Amino acid sequence: MKKKTLYPISALDICLSNRCNLACRYCYFDTLNQGPARFLSPAQLHRALVLYADLVPAAGIDKISLAGGEPLLDYQLAKAAVEAIRERF
């Protein structure tokens, strides 16, 4: 059996959408709100967390961030993300 390789990746940024309410004056993204609105699906969110958990040792995880656009524009998805992170990690 092949030994699983674990990587020293301590942080994960999950972009929940490409939409924003344009409320942050300090924002550095210049591609938000262009093109059709896209939001991460719950299945895509789950897959990202599973892949991350499989590649990184639990002791090496320092930070998981929800980003986007504005991650709270889809509150239910952001809430599901927090619940999934708490459950998984």
- Extract the runs of DSSP E, i.e. beta strands, from 1-89: 11-15, 63-67
22-65 confidence digits (pLDDT tens) = 767 777 766 677 788 889 999 999 898 888 888 877 667 778 89
Gap between the Cα atoms of 29 and 69, Å rounded? 8
pLDDT at 76: 93
Is the confidence at residue 78, as pLDDT, over 90?
Answer: yes
- For residue 79, pLDDT over 90 is answered with yes
pLDDT of amino acid 11? 84
Percent of the chain with pLDDT over 90: 21
